Amino acid sequence: MEPTDPAALPKVLLHDHLDGGVRVETVLDLASAAGYTGLPAGDAAGLRSWFHQAGASSLEAYLAAFAHTYGVMQTPEAMTRVAFEAVEDLTRDGVVYAEIRFAPSLHIAGSMTRADAIAAVVRGCEAAESTLGTPARVIVDALRQHRDSPKVARAAAGFVGRGVVGFDLAGPEAGFPPHHHAEAIGIAREAGLRITLHAGEGDGVSSIAAALACGAERLGHGARLIEDTTVRDGRIVAMGPVAREVHEGGIVLEVCPTSNLDTNMYPSPAAHPVGVLHRAGFAVTVNTDNRLMSATTMGREFALVAAHCGMGIEDLGAVTRTALAAAFCDEPTRATVAARLDAGAPG
C-alpha cells in the first residue's frame, strides 16, 4: 500500500546547508570542546529557540545566525561529525538521497585549508552512507560577497569523483551578481562539477536571469520566478521571458518553502507559489534549506505544501522524481535511489 501521509513518503533532497542543520546539542558540545564562548544561549532548548527566532526578520538576519554554527566547525573532526549526523538525521526523515552544501571558506579560521574542510565533510558523508545506506553528495559553495571564489572552485575541483558533485554561489544576492564569479564557475565546470546557483531568494527575476546567463543548471530557491508570470485564480496564465526560459529549459527550482516564510518572502504558507509553479509545469523540487534555523525537516516541508499549496501525494511523488532526475550524482547511484523510490519505502 502506498503512503497517504505526505511526511511518510521517501524523499530526495537537493538543497540543504550543512551549517544550517547542525544539532543544537552538537553545537553546544563543539563549543565546549573548542572554548567557543559566543553562543547566545547555554542550553539546548534556549539555543534552538534563538536560532529559529534569529531569522524571522530578513534574509540578512537569517544568514547572520550561521556565525555560531560555522564558528564551532573549525576542525576536521567537527566537520566530519556534523556531516555524519546530518545524513543520520535525514535518513530518519525518510530521505533516500541528499546533496549537502557548505562554504569551506567559513571553516579555515583555524588550521584547516579549504581542501581539508571539504575532505572532512566528504569523510562524514561516506561514513554515513556506509553505515546507514543513504547516499549523500557534497556541493561546495563560494560566497558572493567574498573574492576567493576561484580558490574555492579549485579546491572543489580536487574532489571530482570523490564525493563532491556541484558548485554553488551562496550568500546575499542583492548587489553581488554571479558574473563577478565567472572565473570560479568556469573552473568548476571545466573540472566536471555541475552548477547550481542561489537565485530568486534575496533578489528577484533579474538575479534569476543573471544565474541563467552564468550557466546555472539548477536555481537555489528560484521561487521569485513567480514575479515574471501573470497569475489568475491560482493559475499561471502568462510568462515573461525569464520564466519562459526556465520553463522551456526545464531548469530545476530548488524551492525551500519554510525558509522563504521565515525570511518574510511570503506572508503565509498559502501565499507561497510552489504549488502554482508546479501546476504550471515548472521543474519544482521541495527542500529544507536550513533545518536548524527553520526548525524543519523534509517531512514537515512535504506536509506544509500538501496542507497549504494544493500538492497531493501524486504531486509530491512527481516532485521527488524531478529531484532525482536533477541530482548531480552518477548514474549507478541514481539507479539505486530510483529502485528505492519504486519500492516506496523510505528506509
**Which residues are known to be catalytic?**
201
Q: Is 180 exposed, middle or buried (0-12, 13-18, 19+ CB in 10 A)?
A: middle
Mark residue 216 as left, alpha or beta (left: phi above 0; alpha: psi -120 to 50; beta: remaining): beta
DSSP-H helix ranges across the chain? 24-34, 44-54, 59-64, 67-70, 76-92, 114-132, 149-157, 182-191, 205-213, 241-249, 257-262, 274-279, 298-308, 313-326, 331-343
> Which of 284, 283, 285, 280 has its CA nearest to residue 238?
280
Q: Could you give the angle at the alpha carbon of 253 between the alpha carbons of 89 and 298, nearest 5°?
A: 20
Question: Can you give the C-alpha Rg of the chain in angstroms?
Answer: 19
Contact 195, 167 (CB under 8 A): yes
> What is the phi-psi region of residue 205: left when phi exceeds 0, alpha when psi lies from -120 to 50, beta otherwise?
alpha
The single-letter code of the amino acid at 303 is A
In the numeric block, the cell 533579474 is attached to 206
Instruction: Return the residue matching grid coordinates 546547508.
Output: 17
Q: Three cell numbers at 18?
A: 550543512
Of 3, 2, 1, 7, which Cα lies nearest the Cα of 307?
Answer: 7
Other Cβ atoms within 10 Å of 314 Cβ, number: 9
**Is 107 in contact with 70 (CB distance < 8 Å)?**
yes
